[in-house]
Structure 1
């Protein structure tokens, strides 16, 4: 076949693939109108009316929480998890998205197996896609030790498109008394052992909670545990009565919802409530147009808007270039964008003024808002806000501040990759 004919076939195949992808997106509703949630008279985050609005408007479960630990990067995070697991006397409930073979997964299995053999009820919800690299013998070993394991959303020919909906939540619950909430998976990648081009630990953090928030979090776990085939335990050992002590807190969940999203509302409202500062960390920064608009509006109103995101050392280059394509309007409005330099930035948090912290598994992108099962914990607590501020200040210092001039000088290839990625932004 002549070269011209081969080229023609290649172009035809690419066009067919593109058309098929767009057709799938169309039938999934990816091109439907996104709700903008226009707001007025948004109260400050320290006003009682803000808490009342969040509870109803953002479908958030009100509770109280006592943050009693703040752990940064792999060594601290995994040590805190293992200590919590080893202390368990009755129940261990864990839900996660990402697991890979290695030392961290092995340490995790040893600790869970020991507790299961000691009579502790150990239950795991693991995302089928996120843990696809784990060997079957790993799960067989856990099950042989008495650990109950169920997988979220395995591929099914009965509903093949459902495979695109994942659980991205990360929560570890011990005895109905202690919770660890963060963004880290169970993987040596968080130690810097990955192909990102960096050797430093991935930048992430985790918060330990006690208090009445535990009953709410146990309910969140039970929802997906029963969905994947587990038997829910609603006993008082799991859902323990606890007086409302500590700080005002909310638990906001996200599930597949192509139009209305509680987490989208939470982010939109939190951004518009900012008066002095709005500091955000999101590795996969592909905000929808409405979120971009409120960020621009906040910056133009004099709010100190800073966004920390992943830099050239990252685990998803296609998302990185897609995200960079959206920097322009934000930079022109005065938003400061920092790209983390040492290695992958994976922390997901919103800090508003001096009291409001919202963190968990949610990225500022359409996949987190509308496709995945996600969860954020939001707390009104000056001490947690101060710890978060210190974490972000240290992260900013290790990052490159992107200027509008830098962004405008990106290469043709980078621009092409970014614009092409935006076509598939709902899937990133």
Structure 2
């Protein structure tokens, strides 16, 4: 009689299989329903609030803020076309559509007139793009960050992580950094944030590109220069998995802990770890106002549902969550107390804060923070606030899905 009972190992295995089947079913269902919602959303979407490019003086040069891809891409192309000495271009995604071809042509034309052109892209992020698209000719040096980079050390954290950075540096005179990938979709249909920098801060982005290139291509090393500017009010923070260095996470924690008035976060994918979540909750205990903008429906539906697992604690603590409607908001920005700003490539999730190659600029400057707060306020006009009452009355099936998906949080 007793011999017919399953062993503890068999019970665990059966439960695990049941969970996996349930998760796969949930993911498949979410993907289908999200596709339908995006089609319906596309029929009613007629643009979103845009803040025109705005120039602000910072302690280390001018910063121009972009919230619309078409504006940004035009200025990036113009910078490449004006290049005289060298161009560093790095992007997580480069679509082979009209926008991608426009960038490719500009980079090839620059190389043809004698400019040193360096291109870096992530192979995994561009698996759907034909590899031949990244053939820029013999005059352009191209680094394809490989799909698999761990070799015979598959469990080494130093050799995992994607190159999620988006950088353009031209002639050490102008640089661009932010959340925008290159593609026609991003030009008009996604809400993102990018900065154009001039002045001494350009050196920091050029140096970040050079260090990454030289780490992977030491035989083709780029020779950089030093900098006499040590002003800490504008700094670049780089996550470097190869060195197990992840300063962007600490930058967020320090800024949140300093807050006395308000925190405004725009996050494409919001899956905070324990420490960041607790820092936000402690800020509320101090009376700090915390507002977070997230997509109503992002391009990664599972991420949306993993993010939902944190909404209850945040809402009960008085954090205000605003869901961006009808378009994908892909920005990665934060302002604190009208003094501190960050814009960059890192999302508030494990992959960005302790996994990928990322770069964020940190600016301590009231003028830029004030402008970013204006951008945030304009974005709020396209948001619907999620209230605690709405959250507590959500469908019981939604609660079950959140519970079943919760174990996936550490993976993202």
Length-normalised TM-score, structure 1: 0.78
What's 2:340 paired with? 356
**1-structure distance, mates of 2:406, 2:199:** 42
- CA separation of 1:259/1:218 partners in 2, compared to 1, >3 Å: closer, same or farther? closer
Q: Decide whether the 8 Å contact of 1:67 with 1:207 is kept in 2.
A: no
Q: Decide whether the 8 Å contact of 1:279 with 1:350 is kept in 2.
A: yes
Q: Decide whether the 8 Å contact of 2:265 with 2:333 is kept in 1.
A: yes
- CA separation of 1:353/1:413 partners in 2, compared to 1, >3 Å: closer, same or farther? same
**2-structure distance, mates of 1:99, 1:139:** 9
What's 2:152 paired with? 158
- CA separation of 1:151/1:17 partners in 2, compared to 1, >3 Å: closer, same or farther? farther
Per the alignment, in what secondary structure is the counterpart of residue 233 of structure 2?
Answer: strand
The 5 A counterparts of 1:100-119 are 100-119=95-114
Q: Does 1:167 align with 2:166?
A: no
- 1:287 corresponds to which of 272, 277, 283: 272
What's 2:330 paired with? 346
- 1:299 corresponds to which of 284, 293, 298: 284
1:158-216 per-residue CA deviation (whole Å, 9 max, x = no partner) reads: 34567751111111111111111110101222145xxxxxxxx2111211111222222
| Offset of residue 17 of structure 1 | 9.8
Per the alignment, in what secondary structure is the counterpart of residue 225 of structure 1?
Answer: helix
Which runs of 5 or more structure 1 residues have no equivalent in the other structure? 1-7, 20-62, 193-200
- 1:334 corresponds to which of 313, 318, 323: 318
Which runs of 5 or more structure 2 residues have no equivalent in the other structure? 1-9, 22-57
- 1:131 corresponds to which of 101, 126, 135: 126
| Offset of residue 300 of structure 1 | 2.4
1:1-23 per-residue CA deviation (whole Å, 9 max, x = no partner) reads: xxxxxxx9xx969729969xxxx
Q: Decide whether the 8 Å contact of 1:281 with 1:307 is kept in 2.
A: yes
**1-structure distance, mates of 2:190, 2:109:** 28
| Offset of residue 101 of structure 1 | 2.1
**2-structure distance, mates of 1:266, 1:15:** 40
**1-structure distance, mates of 2:406, 2:82:** 46
Q: Decide whether the 8 Å contact of 1:256 with 1:371 is kept in 2.
A: yes
**2-structure distance, mates of 1:414, 1:172:** 42
Per the alignment, in what secondary structure is the counterpart of residue 15 of structure 1?
Answer: helix
- CA separation of 1:241/1:295 partners in 2, compared to 1, >3 Å: closer, same or farther? closer
Q: Decide whether the 8 Å contact of 1:257 with 1:371 is kept in 2.
A: no
Per the alignment, in what secondary structure is the counterpart of residue 424 of structure 1?
Answer: helix
What's 2:3 paired with? none
**1-structure distance, mates of 2:274, 2:83:** 45
Q: Does 1:66 align with 2:61?
A: yes
What's 1:220 paired with? 208
Q: Does 1:322 align with 2:309?
A: no
**1-structure distance, mates of 2:201, 2:221:** 18
- 1:411 corresponds to which of 383, 387, 395: 395
**1-structure distance, mates of 2:285, 2:229:** 42
Per the alignment, in what secondary structure is the counterpart of residue 180 of structure 2?
Answer: coil
**1-structure distance, mates of 2:282, 2:171:** 44
Q: Decide whether the 8 Å contact of 2:238 with 2:246 is kept in 1.
A: no
**How many corresponding residue pairs?**
362
Q: Does 1:143 align with 2:143?
A: no
**2-structure distance, mates of 1:137, 1:98:** 15
Q: Does 1:278 align with 2:247?
A: no
- CA separation of 1:113/1:257 partners in 2, compared to 1, >3 Å: closer, same or farther? closer
**1-structure distance, mates of 2:213, 2:161:** 16
- 1:177 corresponds to which of 170, 173, 177: 173
**2-structure distance, mates of 1:172, 1:397:** 31
| Offset of residue 390 of structure 1 | 1.4
Q: Decide whether the 8 Å contact of 2:306 with 2:408 is kept in 1.
A: no
| Offset of residue 219 of structure 1 | 1.6
- 1:122 corresponds to which of 114, 117, 121: 117
| Offset of residue 99 of structure 1 | 2.1
| Offset of residue 427 of structure 1 | 2.7
**1-structure distance, mates of 2:227, 2:126:** 34
**1-structure distance, mates of 2:372, 2:174:** 20
**1-structure distance, mates of 2:354, 2:403:** 21
